[in-house]
Amino acid sequence: MLKSPKKRYGVIECPNCRGLGLVCSSAKSHRCPYCGRVIKFGWGRVKSLYWSYSPRVASRVLARLKLERSK
């Protein structure tokens, strides 16, 4: 029996408004919560800032990056 690959969670930057968001590696697209644009993965337009196997760690990194940008 083959093991299914672990999900990875990432912090990405919207190419339209440069807002940050948390995504799962199994997703094919993501809607930006700030500008509403649909971001499709796999086309190389998306800037990924961090990847982790833990959603909690990725969420904390996202919060830290948002805090740094607000200063």
Instruction: Establish if 46 belongs to a structural domain.
Output: yes
Instruction: Establish if 58 belongs to a structural domain.
Output: no
Instruction: Establish if 22 belongs to a structural domain.
Output: yes
Instruction: Establish if 64 belongs to a structural domain.
Output: no
Instruction: Establish if 41 belongs to a structural domain.
Output: yes
Q: Got the DSSP string for the chain?
A: -PPPPPP-EEEEE-TTT--EEEEETT-SEEE-TTT--EEETTSS--EEEEEES-HHHHHHHHHHHHHHHH-
User: Whole domain around residue 49: which residue ranges?
Assistant: 9-53
* pTM of the complete model beyond 0.75: yes
57-66 confidence digits (pLDDT tens): 999 999 999 9
Instruction: Establish if 68 belongs to a structural domain.
Output: no
Q: What is the pLDDT of residue 2?
A: 63
The count of domains in the chain is 1
Average pLDDT over all residues of the chain: 90
Instruction: Establish if 66 belongs to a structural domain.
Output: no
Instruction: Establish if 14 belongs to a structural domain.
Output: yes
- C-alpha 49/C-alpha 57 separation (Å) is 13
